[in-house]
Structure 1
Amino acid sequence: MKKLKELFNKIKELPDKDRQDITSLLWQLICYSPKFPLRLQQQQLLDEATPFSLEADDPHFSRSALKFNGFIWGNGSRKVLITHGWGSKAADFIDLIAALRSIEDLQVIAFDAPGNGSSEGELSNLMLFAKATEAVITTYGSPEIMIGHSLGVMANTMATQETGTKPNLLISIAPMVRLKENFIATMTNADVPKIAQDKFFENFEAIFGMPTSQFDLSEMYTPGTAVRHWLAYDPEDKVAPFAYLQELLTACPAISTKEYEATGHERIIKDTRLIADILKLVRG
């Protein structure tokens, strides 16, 4: 987190930002995922798992295959795959994973996406999240239940489409909906002028071969992706505003939803009400 704050302050204090090319700094600001050390309880949770390592190709940043680390709890017949959000890691789901382990017929799988947690990579992006999710599905089989938080919801959506997976239950928690707007908010907070923002988005399109505006969950999501889709959100979420989420829900009325007020974007995954509701859904 220290590195991200230093980078943010460096950009914010730059003179004449509208007259110089700061695109390289903006890539770091947008794509550097802060890493937080494991707490004792989180380390103990990982110590009880069966670890694994897979690879995800990164043609845009490192131009190499990045190893990412994953963890498996249990050997039940029903697979649950958890995909974390930006600046997060598998162990951040400690409370949910502990609760899911109380259900005997489950096998719970979670991983640290490239550039996050314990996995390789200096910078990360949605494509790497999705490729890692695809690699887990390809290696361990299609999960019956998929759980995603924030950017992990987008990654799960992309992975189901690429692998042809159709989970019986898809759980989306505080989904990121419009990635471009999130980038704009980050740059605006750092006092990046529009001319520099426009240059960044031009560079983004040149590198990825598509505009950032295509990373819109309302456009990416296909009805029928899962047998059942349940979505949890905080209506006052500042990171993933409800106004954007409403577009998805209007287009896909079959998605069941539940509000969790005053949880916030990051802490919602620890909410005891949410965890209790997920257990009910998983138990059927």
Structure 2
Amino acid sequence: MSNLKLQLIKTSLTFGALFTPHRVMNYFWDKMFTTHKRSLKPPHTQILDAAKKERFEVTLFNNEPATIHTYSWGTGKQTILLLHGWESKAADYYKLIPLLLQQGYKVLSLDFPAHGSSNQLQTSLPEFIKVVRQYMQAHLEIETIVAHSLGGTAAATWLGEQTNAKVKQLIMIGSPIIPKNFFEGAFNFFGVRRKVRTLFYAKAHRTFGKGIEDFALANALTTTNQATQVYGIYDVKDRVVSIDEVKTYASQNPAVHMQYFDGVGHHQMIKHPEVLQACLSILAQAQA
């Protein structure tokens, strides 16, 4: 996008907010929750061709029924669930899945609504959480969750709801701590007025049943009453997730085992050899 076009958009939104704040709010709502799917590349196709494919019926907000695509590989006695992040997909784990199969695991994954092969156009973190909740209820055999980015925030939120979770390990890779800051960052970039922000957050509360700020990881997951071992893998130069927020969270939750990398990149973390090896090492510790 050229600087001129960007400036025109900002100017239009500034004036629009003065006279039609609800219209501007709805514009941002669509922009924030509409996903853009990336095309499959040969490695994606290859890993999906090796999977057992199924469909899973879920209920989203307002009791809206939806169908998502799910996948499984292997027949091992221990089951691992892989969860992707925003604008990602199950097939993006194409490097990790073969490594897990070599270690004898059964691997499950899914495409969240509006991602991968799942057909919806819009989704959100609260919908990610609803899907995780329903999927885990149907798959009690899952012992470990490995989750990237927003998938990790959703998994941690689900885990925080449990009093006797059978999941032994949760590995979060580059998962946001305070998701509301993504919205605030976008609003600040476009110079969105407070009136529009207030309308946006009020609509979110009506839609999701609680405020965007309530989905912060610090509110969702405390480790003092959890039998699950929680691990965090982060890049100190991550441009998507604030490492300062991560380290503050880590200092307040010392039971979370943190491991930091330097310069891997947010979207590359689930493909990077050293990060994958870190995941395998964590899994091996549980078996020792």
Same fold (TM over 0.5): yes
Query: Residues 25-58 of structure 1, C-alpha deviation per residue, up to 9 Å, x if partnerless?
Result: 1111111122101111111101101111112212
SS in 2 for 1:189: helix
Deviation at 1:204, TM superposition (A): 1.6
Measure the CA separation in 2 of the matches of 1:99 and 1:109: 14
Tell whether 2:103 aligns with 1:108: no
Unaligned 5+ residue runs, structure 1? 3-7
Please list, as runs of the form range in 1=range in 2, the aligned pairs for 1:26-105 lying within 5 A after superposition: 26-60=28-62, 64-104=64-104
Distance 1:92 1:107 in 2: 17
How far the C-alpha of 1:11 sits from its partner, in A, is 4.9
Q: Is the 8 A contact 2:159 2:221 kept in 1?
A: no
Identity %: 24
What is the SS of the residue equivalent to 1:219? helix
CA contact (8 A) 2:140 2:166 kept: no
Query: Is structure 2 residue 276 aligned with structure 1 residue 278?
Result: no
Amino acid at match of 2:134: A
Which deviates more from structure 2 when the two are superposed, residues 63-72 or residues 51-60?
51-60
Instruction: From the superposition, tell whether residues 153 and 71 of structure 1 become closer, same or farther in structure 2 (CA, over 3 Å).
Output: same
Distance 2:7 2:116 in 1: 23
The aligned residue for residue 265 of structure 1 is 266
Deviation at 1:202, TM superposition (A): 2.0
Deviation at 1:9, TM superposition (A): 8.7
Gap regions ≥5 residues in structure 2: none
Which SS does the other structure have where 1:144 is aligned? strand
Q: How many residues align?
A: 276
Could you tell me how far 1:90 is from its partner in structure 2? 0.4
Secondary structure of 2:165's counterpart equals: coil
Residue-by-residue CA offset, 1:93-119 (whole Å, 9 max, x unaligned) = 111112111112x11001100111111
Answer yes or no: is the 8 Å Cα contact 1:81–1:143 preserved in 2.
yes
Matched residue type, 2:68: F
CA deviation vs aligned residue, 1:53-97 (integer Å, no higher than 9, x gap): 11221225xx62110001100011101011111111101111111
Label 1:43 to 1:195 Cα distance change in 2 as closer, same or farther (>3 A): same
Contact 2:86 2:150 in 1 (8 A): yes
1:39 maps to a residue whose letter is K
Verify the 8 A CA contact 1:80 1:147 in the aligned structure 2: yes
Residue 10 of structure 1: CA displacement? 8.3
Please name the residue that 1:136 is paired with.
135
- Tell me the CA shift for residue 194 of structure 1: 3.1
Q: CA deviation at 1:273?
A: 0.3
1:228/1:162 CA distance change after superposition, 3 Å: closer
Residues 1-284 of structure 1: pairs in structure 2 closer than 5 A = 11-12=9-10, 14-15=12-13, 16-19=15-18, 20-21=20-21, 22-60=24-62, 64-104=64-104, 106-162=105-161, 164-223=164-223, 224-284=225-285
Deviating 4+ runs (over 6 angstroms): none
TM-superposed deviation, 1:242? 1.2
SS of equivalent residue, structure 2 residue 135:
helix
Partners of 2:227 and 2:37 in 1: how far apart?
32
RMSD (Å), alpha carbons = 2.2
SS of corresponding position for 1:214:
helix
Q: CA deviation at 1:148?
A: 1.1
CA positional deviation for 1:226: 4.5
For 2:121 and 2:103, locate their aligned partners in 1 and report how far apart those are by CA, in whole Å.
Answer: 36
